[in-house]
Chains A and B, each alone.
Chain A
Amino acid sequence: MIVTTTKGDMDDSLLKKREGSVNNDNESTTWVEYWLADELVHRSAHVRLKKPMVSTSEAGSFKNG
C-alpha cells in the first residue's frame, strides 16, 4: 500500500506502522503512524464525536405577586 509521507509517497513495506485508539464518553478515536527509522513521516487520525453538548430551554412562568 502506498502511504503519503513527508518524503513523498512510499510503500508501507518500507515503514514501521504504529496504531492506537482512545475510547471514552466523549470520543472514539483511532490513529495510525508510519515511521521511517526514528522519523515520523505520516500520522492520521479519525475522531468520532460521541458526546456533543445539549442546550436546554425553559419557558418562564407568571407567578402570583
Chain B
Amino acid sequence: MANTQAMCTSFKTEILSGIHALGTTVIRAGTGADTLKAALYLASATVNAATTAYSVTGEVSGTGYSAGGVTATNATAPTSSGTTAYWTPSASFTYTTVTLTTSFDCVLVYNSTQSNKAISVHTFGAQTITAGTIVLSMPTNDSTNALIRIA
C-alpha cells in the first residue's frame, strides 16, 4: 500500500452541498438546497470570474423578462465520478414569450438564498429574441460535461 496526496473527492462533492465551512459561514435556515436563479446579461456587460453577486447592471430588460431571471430546477443533488464532483440543473433555463432586442450572450447562475451570491458564468453566441422564447439547455450531467465541475 502507499499513500497518495489528493484533494478528497468526497470533499469536492460536499463543497457543492455546503457541508464544510473552512471560513466564517452563515446560519442556514434549513437543510434543504438553496434556490438558484439564472439571469441573462447583455453582450456589452462585464460578467466574469470576478463577479461576486447578481446585479441588475448589464442585465437584459424587455417585455416578459423579470429582473433576476428564472429559477433553476434542482432535482438532482451534486455527485461525483472518478475524482470530479459535478452538478447540473435538472431542467433548461427557459424564458418564455420575451422580447429582448439588445443582444445578450451570457447567463449568470447565482444563489438567491444566499444574498444572490454568484456561482458561475456561461457565455454563448449573441442572441436577440422577438416575441419568442430563449431556451438554454443543460449539458449532460456527468463528470465530463456537467454545468459545474470541480476536478
Counting from the closest, the 9 A-B pairs by CB-CB distance are A44-B132, A43-B130, A48-B137, A54-B149, A57-B7, A46-B135, A27-B124, A59-B7, A44-B133
A39's closest neighbor in chain B, by CB?
B130
Can you list 23 A-B contacts with CB-CB less than 8 angstroms, sorted by A residue number? A6-B99, A6-B131, A22-B125, A26-B124, A31-B127, A41-B130, A42-B130, A44-B132, A44-B134, A47-B125, A47-B137, A48-B136, A49-B136, A50-B145, A52-B120, A52-B147, A54-B151, A55-B148, A55-B149, A55-B151, A56-B151, A58-B7, A59-B6
Does chain A have a CB within 8 A of B146?
A: yes
A59's closest neighbor in chain B, by CB?
B7
Q: How far in angstroms is the closest Cβ of chain B from A29? A: 6
List residues 1-47 of chain A with CB under 8 A from any CB of chain B: 4-6, 22, 26-27, 29, 31-33, 40-47
Does chain B have a CB within 8 A of A64?
A: no
Contact assessment for A4 and B124 in the assembled complex, using a CB-CB cutoff below 8 Å: no
Does chain A have a CB within 8 A of B70?
A: no
The contact size tier of chain B is 20 to 34
Contacts of B5 in A (CB 8 A): 59, 61
The contact size tier of chain A is 20 to 34
Q: How far in angstroms is the closest Cβ of chain A from B99? A: 7
Contact assessment for B129 and A44 in the assembled complex, using a CB-CB cutoff below 8 Å: yes
CA distance A43 to B63 in the complex (A): 13
CA distance A17 to B129 in the complex (A): 15
Partner of B145, one of A26, A32, A52, A57: A52
A29's closest neighbor in chain B, by CB?
B125
